[in-house]
Structure 1
Amino acid sequence: MENSALQILTMAKVIQTAVAPVFLITGIAATLGVLSNRLARIVDRARLLDKRIKRLQDEAEMQELQREMRALLKRSRFIHVAFSASVLSALLVCSVVMMLFISHLHTMDLGITIASCFIAAMALLIAAFFALLGEIFLATRSMRRGMIFADFTQD
């Protein structure tokens, strides 16, 4: 009886240890929501510009819209990197949780593997946030160049 009680207590400790990474997965999911919304706005704007470019006759205006389209493409690349790094980070965190239970159930020493996966997950999450920051810098640079608020700056 003592052995089974000890196993239950040990499993409870493993579950407690696994809870923190699960909260991290929730945070990554929220980040993925933000990235999805930003990507959707970029895609919507690109579709609108594409329709306008196809109807345009004025070469100067077409060049301006194509310049904005290139800026949107750069922004979408940053979002793509951020999205990919976030998903990979979440997968590694899921692997950490899984390995915690495997190491307990099979009494295997996976400490170095678990730590390595967690470190890699954090590095990917950092890369995702840097990519998001890069996309935000591109978006604000586009605004400063007058692509978005050009009509409001002329009085």
Structure 2
Amino acid sequence: MELTSDVVNILTMAKVIQTAVAPVFLLTGIAAFLGVLSNRLARITDRARLLDRKLNASLEEALHFTLTQEMRALLKRSRCIHIAFSMSVLSALMVCAVVVLLFVSHLYTWPLGITVSSCFIAAMLLLIGAFVSLLAEVMLATRSMRRGMIFKDIG
């Protein structure tokens, strides 16, 4: 039995869809990671607003110094989260590009293997950078706790 061109195209398209499923699962993981980053940024923002109110109400110089130090630490942490967020979104965009390029390559029979591979490698490198940036933020948060900026009264 000979397969017609349409059947072969459908089977080939099915393989392309199967190939595109793995990057789509990766998008789900990146979306979950973005949720974690959003929650951490929200906590940092809430803490910064509280400290800002305390700073504006404080006349005591020692307390003002301590609060300013903690605000600086929060700013550093927010920068790390911002970097992680940006890299994660760029990674997701690269994954989307991989999926699109897989289909374009099939539809127009363009040899885009190197382009698809490059986009996927870029996505992974960006995701690695995002995880490293999150790790840096967690280390800053831990350092702040160890310095006693957050848990001063616990002894």
| TM-score category, normalised to shorter length | over 0.9
**Could you tell me which residue of structure 2 aligns to residue 107 of structure 1?**
109
Tell me by how many angstroms 1:135 deviates.
0.1
Q: How many angstroms apart in 2 are the aligned matches of 1:125 and 1:51? A: 36
Relative to the length of structure 1, the TM-score reads: 0.98
Do structure 1's residue 125 and structure 2's residue 127 form an aligned pair?
yes
Instruction: From 36, 46, 49, give the equivalent of 2:48.
Output: 46
Q: How many angstroms apart in 1 are the aligned matches of 2:20 and 2:119? A: 14
What one-letter code is carried by the residue in structure 2 that aligns with 1:109?
A: P
Runs of 4+ in 1 over 3 A off after TM superposition: none
CA RMSD of aligned residues (A): 0.6
**Could you tell me which residue of structure 1 aligns to residue 66 of structure 2?**
64
Tell me by how many angstroms 1:61 deviates.
0.4
What runs of 5+ residues in structure 1 fail to find an aligned partner? Answer: none
Tell me by how many angstroms 1:148 deviates.
1.1
What one-letter code is carried by the residue in structure 2 that aligns with 1:73?
A: L
Q: How many angstroms apart in 2 are the aligned matches of 1:95 and 1:17? A: 14
| Matched position secondary structure for 1:109 | coil
Alpha-carbon displacement from aligned partner over 1:15-34 (angstroms, at most 9, x marks no partner)? 00000000000000000000
Q: Percent same amino acid at aligned positions?
A: 69
**Could you tell me which residue of structure 1 aligns to residue 29 of structure 2?**
27
Do structure 1's residue 81 and structure 2's residue 86 form an aligned pair?
no
What runs of 5+ residues in structure 2 fail to find an aligned partner? Answer: none
Q: How many angstroms apart in 1 are the aligned matches of 2:7 and 2:119? A: 31
Tell me by how many angstroms 1:94 deviates.
0.2
Q: How many angstroms apart in 1 are the aligned matches of 2:154 and 2:140? A: 20
